[in-house]
């Protein structure tokens, strides 16, 4: 059967007749969910298996997780009285089974440099080989198959796109304007982070290193970008109420970006925070409000204003202050990284 499905896939790929898991409209589900519209990046074939009506669970319920180059997952859901919705739920559960297994194999990848969001498992080449409906118990069973080669091919194309972005950023490192050089250096760091995640995902999926067919000297590119950023430097100032851990959090975020804190730095980060305390229902609350002015590109670059707000509570005021300070410090650090990412884009 698998050979038939693969032949169908090859034909569909050649004709461009591919669609997503779900139907083309959105149909409300119970519990406030909806069947999503198709995702153009998915390779799920148009042709779906017919539902086998049975009076017992299918024989393939204990299908091996791996067979040949494919990875399998089984979804089992109880019917809720809507055939289309139940069919969708069974497919989604089978796909989730495959994704969860891959997460256990390390395919959910954190950011090596702490600059981008973790890269989760988002499958693009899942096919549904068998669907059975047990009429007696109104239970739906779905057997999903991940085409490992097709999935790896999709990830490889994503990695190649990151290489293209890296190459473009490398060329801008020699730009005349300091702001352009800083943006290019930041872009190098962010794209290297995402590139490393994609390479790690391919390795977790296939057990092989990704060969993108082009050798980027990342061992030289990253140090060059980091030196440019360190030499540029950032002048950091704080004003308003003193907040424990705020300066350290912002400094740590700048260090992740290789932007050295320096009074003579060309960039500038200015943070101002005011706090107020309030009691409600015999509990203390601390509210912190402020803003962060970020200019990482030098005197000629734009200044970006980021609002900051946090709240803390506890059994006493010191505990409430600590909670609020921690929340604000984390928010400021993440806002700085997010702003740097937008500059890099």
Q: Of the ranges 103-112, 209-218, 270-279, which one carries the lowest mean pLDDT score?
A: 209-218
126, burial (CB in 10 Å: exposed 0-12, middle 13-18, buried 19+): buried
3-state secondary structure 67-89: ECCEEEEEEEEECCCCHHHHHHH
Domain check: are 19 and 131 in the same one?
Answer: yes
Domain check: are 15 and 115 in the same one?
Answer: yes
**pLDDT per position as a tens digit, 281-294:** 889 999 999 999 99
**pLDDT per position as a tens digit, 238-269:** 999 999 999 999 999 999 999 999 999 999 99
User: Which pLDDT belongs to residue 301?
Assistant: 81
User: Which pLDDT belongs to residue 108?
Assistant: 97
Domain check: are 225 and 92 in the same one?
Answer: no
Query: Does pLDDT of 320 surpass 70?
Result: yes
- Buried b vs exposed e over 280-315: b needs ≥16 C-beta within 10 Å? eeeebbbebbbebebbbbbeebeeeebebebebebe
Beta-strand pair 51-54/126-134: parallel
Domain check: are 148 and 266 in the same one?
Answer: no
Domain check: are 273 and 306 in the same one?
Answer: yes
Domain check: are 9 and 147 in the same one?
Answer: yes
Domain check: are 131 and 188 in the same one?
Answer: no
Domain check: are 62 and 141 in the same one?
Answer: yes
Q: Give the structural domain span for 192.
A: 158-230
Residue at which a domain ends, from 181, 201, 230: 230
**pLDDT per position as a tens digit, 82-138:** 899 999 999 999 999 999 999 999 999 999 999 999 999 999 999 999 999 999 999
**pLDDT per position as a tens digit, 43-84:** 654 456 899 999 999 999 999 999 999 999 999 999 998 899
Most confident of 1-10, 132-141, 216-225: 132-141
User: Which pLDDT belongs to residue 214?
Assistant: 62
Domain check: are 96 and 177 in the same one?
Answer: no
CATH of the domain at 330: 3.40.50.10610
User: Which pLDDT belongs to residue 13?
Assistant: 39
User: Which pLDDT belongs to residue 17?
Assistant: 33
Domain check: are 323 and 275 in the same one?
Answer: yes
Q: How confident is the model at residue 213 (pLDDT cuts 50, 70, 90)?
A: low
How many structural domains compose the chain?
3
Q: How confident is the model at residue 210 (pLDDT cuts 50, 70, 90)?
A: confident
Residue at which a domain ends, from 190, 209, 230: 230
Domain check: are 22 and 135 in the same one?
Answer: yes
Residue at which a domain ends, from 109, 131, 152: 152
Residue 182 structure tokens: 């800083």
Indicate whether this model's pTM tops 0.95.
no
**If we measure between CA atoms, which residue out of 142, 126, 128 comes closest to residue 47?**
128
Domain check: are 9 and 94 in the same one?
Answer: yes
The residue-averaged pLDDT of 141-168 equals 94
């Amino acid at each position: 059967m698998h050979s038939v499905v693969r032949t169908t896939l090859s034909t569909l790929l050649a004709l461009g007749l591919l669609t997503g898991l779900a139907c083309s409209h959105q149909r409300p589900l119970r519990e406030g969910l909806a069947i999503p519209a198709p995702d153009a990046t998915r390779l799920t074939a148009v042709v779906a298996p017919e539902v086998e009506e049975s009076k017992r669970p299918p024989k393939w319920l204990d299908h091996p997780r791996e067979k040949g180059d494919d990875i399998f997952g089984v979804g089992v859901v109880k019917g809720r009285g809507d055939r289309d919705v139940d069919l969708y739920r069974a497919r989604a559960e089978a796909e989730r089974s495959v994704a969860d297994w891959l997460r256990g194999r390390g395919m959910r990848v954190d950011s090596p440099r702490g600059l981008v969001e973790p890269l989760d498992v988002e499958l693009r080449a899942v096919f549904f080989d068998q669907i059975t409906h047990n009429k007696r118990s109104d239970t739906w069973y779905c057997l999903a198959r991940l085409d490992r080669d097709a999935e790896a091919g999709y990830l490889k194309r994503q990695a190649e796109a990151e290489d293209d972005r890296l190459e473009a950023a490398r060329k801008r490192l020699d730009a005349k304007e300091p702001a352009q050089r800083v943006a290019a250096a930041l872009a190098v760091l962010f794209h290297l982070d995402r590139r490393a995640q994609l390479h790690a995902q391919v390795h977790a999926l296939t057990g092989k290193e990704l060969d993108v067919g082009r050798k980027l000297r990342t061992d030289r590119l990253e140090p060059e970008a980091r030196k440019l950023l360190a030499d540029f430097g950032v002048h950091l100032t704080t004003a308003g109420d003193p907040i424990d851990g705020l300066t350290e959090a912002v400094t740590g975020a700048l260090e992740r970006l290789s932007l050295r804190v320096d009074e003579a730095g060309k960039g500038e980060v200015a943070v101002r925070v005011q706090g107020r305390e309030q009691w409600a229902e015999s509990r203390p609350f601390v509210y912190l409000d402020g803003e962060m002015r970020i200019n990482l590109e030098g005197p000629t670059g734009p200044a970006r204003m980021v609002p900051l707000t946090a709240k803390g509570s506890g059994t006493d005021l010191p505990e409430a202050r600590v909670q609020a300070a921690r929340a604000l410090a984390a928010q400021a650090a993440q806002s700085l990284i997010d702003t740097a990412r937008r500059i890099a884009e």
